[in-house]
Amino acid sequence: MTTTVAPQPQEIQRKQPPRWTRAVAIPLAEFGKSLDDPDLGQWFEGFAARNSDMAEYEISNTGHLLIREPTGSPGSVYEVGLAGDLLVWADRNGGIIFGSTSCFVLPDGSHFCPDASWLREERRHEIMLPENLPFPHIVPDFVAEIKSPSNTRAELTSKINLFLEYGTKLAWYIDGETRTVIKFRPGQEPETLNDPEYIDGDDDVLPGFRFAVRERIFDLFADAD
């Protein structure tokens, strides 16, 4: 008689991990919170810290807690590549670079974390003001979003437009799947670049900065198949 050994539950879970197609949005009201609560930042900090190993979190301008799976590969590689190149540029030109874990509180109470962002040198002192700890009530001068499977184009461009509304001077949307870049500037029509080799920073925001988007994102894993 042959005895069949049933697989352990944890083995099944490893073979069939859950896949999220977009963020889960839960109304803040379900937590007894709203965008205008004075302690929203403190509550959000605690919630994110207690659950940091499970997901990534933002608070939308519609008053929802957004929960999405942590950025895996290759998205995290793309984010580090962009932030790293920005850091090299900032070492020569000044300013502060933020990565994808940096959360900014916008004037409407939303909490958003761009994949990469930059604050000009003259605003460096703002980071350590008491009201800007731990989450800065600051609108960066530059933000960038790299589309991942848990994002939609509409979601990310809506976030970008919100940053522009509150003072961001330049924003990039990068989609590795369609090999498309959209550059956003306040008061101007977005500029779409199809399969560009580089993205140049505007002279009045990131003078001299050039990101090799084809090498760093579009073709980085082209030989992996």
**Per-residue pLDDT tens for 139-171?**
999 999 999 877 889 989 999 999 999 999 999
Q: Are residues 50 and 83 in the same domain?
A: no
- Tell me if 50 is assigned to some domain: yes
Q: Is the pLDDT confidence value at 35 over 70?
A: yes
14 found inside a domain: no
What is the pLDDT, as a whole number, of residue 73?
66
Q: Which residues contact 178 (CB under 8 A, 6 or more apart)?
A: none
- On whether both 108 and 210 belong to a single domain, the answer is yes
Average pLDDT of every residue of the chain: 86
Same domain assignment for residues 86 and 64:
no
Residue 114 shares a structural domain with residue 172: yes
| Pair 38, 103 in one domain | no
- Pick from 21-35, 53-67, 160-174, 209-223 the range whose average pLDDT is largest: 160-174
Tell me if 6 is assigned to some domain.
Answer: no
The pTM of this model reads 0.83
CA-based nearest residue to 48, from 118, 103, 3, 116: 103
In a domain, 52, yes or no: yes
- For the chain, the residue count is 225
Burial of 205 (0-12, 13-18, 19+ CB in 10 A): middle
**Statement to judge: residues 157 and 119 lie in one domain:** yes
Of 68, 92, 107, which residue sits at a domain end? 68
pLDDT computed for residue 54 by the predictor: 64
User: Which domain, by its residues, includes 34?
Assistant: 21-68
**CATH number of residue 176's parent domain:** 3.90.1570.10
Cα–Cα distance between 219 and 200 in angstroms, integer?
Answer: 18
Instruction: Please indicate, yes or no, if residue 26 is contained in any of the structural domains.
Output: yes
Residue 132 lies in a domain: yes
Q: Are residues 88 and 60 in the same domain?
A: no
